[in-house]
């Protein structure tokens, strides 16, 4: 993909849209998105004319709420499978983000189009996550043992006891397969090349598998940072910026010897990951996505918090991963 200028792929964490303690009203979510958008607009202002920003985001709280609504109403309205739930949250979050970004850019007199696209991500039907009890991503509401066993028997759900001492300790878990490729790569490239701020691969993308030459949606949830890395490849990003709730990744996380990481070479990042410094389902996939980005040929991956993003791009903070 030919380009001039620098391209930055931003992967936004769940707290960019819904705070954990919130119920998820539209007002709450628009307020959070505004805070996020303020930072993004500052980044856009700091960019040159040939630079490009591409955005992806999680959808955990939104898909959880939607799946729960569908489950509660299931006697009246057929619930939609997880691929469609994912697609619906792409519309929901995409709208909130693009509306807010457009408004802020307009207020500053910046004429940059913003658009969210509906976006599928290819995964492998033979991914280990699809087999036996391997599915690793807890979704939806917490269940009693009775409820969990009922859903297991009736619908073949994989259920896991995720909070052993809680009154409702069980939860459905769905496969979280590894993303292979972004399906709508061509259209996304067209938009980015034309100068549009694109919001894509939302919630890790809508998971699809190859089946007799067709792409078919599956009941799964793809990690949004790993899917974001595939998007970074598509748009030929220079910088892969993974935003989370802490300023820097940690060694010996949660132990007395805990320390912040300012920089890691590719080899260091791989070693730390294999040594178990990063939590699975949390910092683990973020570091893995950064490793993959550098191995693909990206210049720099950064892990930091939203409010430090500008400083991190300037090299003042965050955890920086480079080839070394």
Would you name the residues annotated as active-site residues? 14-15, 137, 224, 286
With H, G, I as helix, E, B as strand and everything else as coil, classify residue 109.
Answer: coil
- Torsion over CA: 247, 290, 268, 15 (sign): positive
Interface residue with a copy of itself among 215, 246, 251, 263 (CB under 8 A) is 215
With H, G, I as helix, E, B as strand and everything else as coil, classify residue 2.
Answer: coil
Interface residue with a copy of itself among 36, 56, 90, 182 (CB under 8 A) is 90
Stretch that binds a copy of itself, among 97-105, 143-151, 268-276, 288-296 (CB under 8 A): 97-105
Buried/exposed code over 84-121 (b: 16+ C-beta within 10 A; e: otherwise): ebbbbbbebbbebbbebbbebbeeeeeebebebbebbb
Contact by Cβ (8 Å): 119, 224: no
Closer residue to a copy of itself, CB minimum distance, 151 or 313: 151
- If binding is defined by CB under 8 A, does position 19 make contact with a copy of itself? no
Residues contacting 304, CB < 8 A, separation 6+: 241, 242, 243, 244, 247, 248, 311, 312, 317, 318, 319
Contact by Cβ (8 Å): 18, 32: yes
Stretch that binds a copy of itself, among 7-15, 68-76, 232-240, 258-266 (CB under 8 A): 68-76
Longest CA span, the chain:
59
Closer residue to a copy of itself, CB minimum distance, 215 or 266: 215
Closer residue to a copy of itself, CB minimum distance, 61 or 138: 61
Q: Rounded to an integer, what distance in angstroms lies between the CA atom of residue 163 and that of residue 166?
A: 6
Q: Rounded to an integer, what distance in angstroms lies between the CA atom of residue 101 and that of residue 259?
A: 35
How far apart are CB 81 and a copy of itself at their closest, in Å?
A: 5
Query: What are the residues facing 10 on neighbouring strands?
Result: 55, 241
Closer residue to a copy of itself, CB minimum distance, 38 or 311: 38
- If binding is defined by CB under 8 A, does position 187 make contact with a copy of itself? yes
Size of the site for a copy of itself (CB under 8 A): 56
Interface residue with a copy of itself among 4, 45, 95, 166 (CB under 8 A) is 95
- If binding is defined by CB under 8 A, does position 69 make contact with a copy of itself? yes
- If binding is defined by CB under 8 A, does position 99 make contact with a copy of itself? yes
Stretch that binds a copy of itself, among 5-13, 77-85, 145-153, 161-169 (CB under 8 A): 77-85
Q: Return the residues of window 230-289 that contact a copy of itself according to CB under 8 A.
A: none
Interface residue with a copy of itself among 94, 177, 285, 298 (CB under 8 A) is 94
Stretch that binds a copy of itself, among 108-116, 130-138, 223-231, 279-287 (CB under 8 A): 108-116
Residue 116's nearest CA partner among 185, 51, 202 is 202
Contact by Cβ (8 Å): 221, 86: yes
List residues binding a copy of itself (CB under 8 A). Answer: 23-26, 65-66, 68-70, 72-73, 76-78, 80-81, 83-84, 87-92, 94-96, 98-99, 102-103, 106-107, 113-118, 120, 183-184, 186-188, 190-191, 194, 196, 199, 206, 208, 213-215, 217
């Amino acid at each position: 993909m030919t380009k001039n200028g620098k391209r930055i792929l931003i992967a936004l964490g769940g707290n960019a849209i819904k705070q954990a303690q919130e119920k998820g009203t539209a007002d709450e979510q628009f307020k959070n998105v505004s805070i996020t958008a303020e930072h993004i607009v500052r980044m856009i202002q700091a960019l040159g004319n040939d630079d490009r920003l591409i955005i992806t985001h999680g959808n955990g709280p939104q898909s959880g709420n939607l799946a729960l609504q569908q489950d509660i109403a299931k006697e009246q309205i057929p619930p939609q499978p997880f691929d469609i739930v994912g697609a619906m949250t792409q519309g929901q979050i995409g709208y909130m983000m693009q509306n807010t970004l457009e408004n802020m850019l307009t207020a500053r007199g910046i004429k940059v189009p913003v658009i969210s696209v509906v976006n599928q991500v290819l995964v492998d039907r033979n991914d280990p996550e699809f087999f036996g009890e391997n599915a690793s991503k807890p979704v939806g509401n917490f269940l009693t043992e009775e409820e969990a066993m009922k859903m297991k028997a009736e619908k073949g759900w994989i259920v896991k006891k995720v909070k052993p001492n809680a009154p409702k300790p069980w939860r459905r878990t769905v496969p979280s397969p590894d993303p292979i490729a972004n399906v709508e790569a061509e259209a996304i490239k067209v938009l980015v090349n034309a100068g549009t701020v694109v919001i894509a691969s939302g919630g890790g993308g809508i998971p699809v598998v190859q089946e007799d030459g067709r792409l078919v949606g599956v009941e799964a949830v793809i990690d949004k940072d790993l899917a974001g890395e595939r998007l970074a490849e598509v748009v030929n990003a220079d910088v892969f910026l993974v935003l989370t709730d802490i300023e820097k990744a940690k060694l010996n996380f949660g132990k007395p010897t805990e320390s912040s990481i300012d920089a890691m070479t590719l080899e260091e990042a791989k070693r730390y990951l294999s040594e178990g410094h990063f939590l699975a389902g949390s910092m683990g996939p973020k570091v893995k996505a950064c490793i993959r980005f550098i191995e693909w040929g990206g210049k720099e991956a950064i892990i930091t918090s939203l409010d430090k993003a500008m400083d991190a791009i300037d090299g003042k903070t965050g955890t920086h991963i480079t080839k070394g």
